[in-house]
Amino acid sequence: MTNPLARPRVGVVLPSLAAQREQKIDFADAARHAEDVGLDLVAYGGRLAGDGPAVEAAVALAAVAAATERLRICSGALASADRPLAWAARQIASLAHVAGDRLVLGVDGYAEPARGGAPGERGVWLDTALALLPRLLAGERVHLPDGTGEVREAAWGLGQVAWELGHAVPGPQVWVGGTSPAAIRRVVRSADGWFPSLVSPDEVAAGVVRLAERAVWRGRPAPTVAVGVVGALGGGPELPGRGALAARVAAARGVAVVALAAAPVVGGAREAAERLHAYWGAGARHVVVGFADGDWRTQVDVLAEARALLG
């Protein structure tokens, strides 16, 4: 029997709402296609703020959970500082009820500008959320502090100083993104996995070493590693090459192109498989690809072929 850990588990970011309208596909159809061709995971963010139209993540992923049976389902936004913690806990509990143990909670610490707060305060919010979410999901009555740790009436817009879910649900796995020292500390202290995006295999390998060292010091098992990458698969003339794709993402992020030169996954199935294998060799056990352009279904098929080649 094939060892499932002998190759990375491969996932895909669900198409944006704009791509869905253009390509006549919805969340359920996209997720069923990914499952049918053998992928392992689908992911969707759906932040409250962002470029272009979007569907709220909990709604989108509920549709995905109802339409699939095997796929793991990763949310990249529900435990971010752009929403009250009690709201996030209710959404996570609801999704866990629908998706069961297939749900993975991706956490990136993003903060909606309308909620205010300097970056340091957002970090405090995230640390507080990671500490309190397991208790909330276990059905405990929990005081909800603001970002400074002070218990304050209506701190989260609830009009009360304590809140409880009302029932217990199994908590999902938590994967924390980011590459900063603070992100690494959060992974080891409060999460099941590390989920950096747009990093090279060498950066993954270095992060794996840091995680392992800190995990040993805390007496915890080493967290799993999942990597988010950007891709343009199939090699059609309408698709950007590695350099053009790296330049586009670098411009959007406001960083130097050289910092992202190794991140894109492009080309046909064999070339994509080589890139995925490089991440596996660096210690990643999950690779999640978001497509930049082109037909989403066609690229999923290429990604599934690459996954099969890894076997």
Core vs surface per residue 91-118: b (16+ CB within 10 A) or e: bbbebbebbeebbbbbbbbbbbeebebe
- Sorted by where each starts, the structural domains of the chain and their CATH numbers stand as 7-309 (3.20.20.30)
DSSP string, 185-198: HHHHHH-SEE--BS
For 84, other C-beta atoms within 10 Å of its C-beta total: 16
Please say if the pLDDT value at position 122 is more than 80: no
User: How does residue 290 score in pLDDT terms, banded at 50, 70 and 90?
Assistant: very high
Tell me the HSE value of 139 on the side-chain side, using a 13 A CA sphere: 5
Model pLDDT for residues 37-92, shown as the tens digit of each residue: 999 999 998 665 556 678 888 899 999 999 999 999 998 766 566 677 888 888 89
User: How does residue 146 score in pLDDT terms, banded at 50, 70 and 90?
Assistant: low
Kindly state the average pLDDT of the residues 201-218. 93
In the prediction, which pLDDT does 49 show?
52
Whole-number Cα distances in Å, 124 to 40, 86, 119, 134, 173: 33, 16, 9, 17, 21
SS3 128: helix
In the prediction, which pLDDT does 161 show?
63
Cα 165 to Cα 91: distance, rounded to the nearest angstrom: 10
Residue 175 — φ and ψ, nearest 5°? -115, 125
Q: For residues 42 and 75, is the Cβ–Cβ distance under 8 A?
A: no
Please say if the pLDDT value at position 309 is more than 60: yes
Residue 42 — φ and ψ, nearest 5°? -125, 150
Torsion, Cα of 299, 303, 304, 309 (10° steps): 140
Cα 154 to Cα 291: distance, rounded to the nearest angstrom: 41
Range of weakest confidence among 3-7, 151-155, 179-183: 151-155
Model pLDDT for residues 164-203, shown as the tens digit of each residue: 888 899 889 999 998 888 889 999 999 999 999 999 999 9
In the prediction, which pLDDT does 253 show?
79
The rounded radius of gyration (Å) of the Cα atoms in the chain is 19
Tell me the HSE value of 235 on the side-chain side, using a 13 A CA sphere: 7
Q: For residues 97 and 171, is the Cβ–Cβ distance under 8 A?
A: no
Whole-number Cα distances in Å, 255 to 107, 221, 288, 293: 22, 34, 22, 21
- Percent of the chain exceeding pLDDT 70 equals 84
- Percent of the chain exceeding pLDDT 90 equals 53
Q: For residues 194 and 184, is the Cβ–Cβ distance under 8 A?
A: yes
Cα 179 to Cα 182: distance, rounded to the nearest angstrom: 8
Tell me the HSE value of 255 on the side-chain side, using a 13 A CA sphere: 11
Kindly state the average pLDDT of the residues 141-152. 60
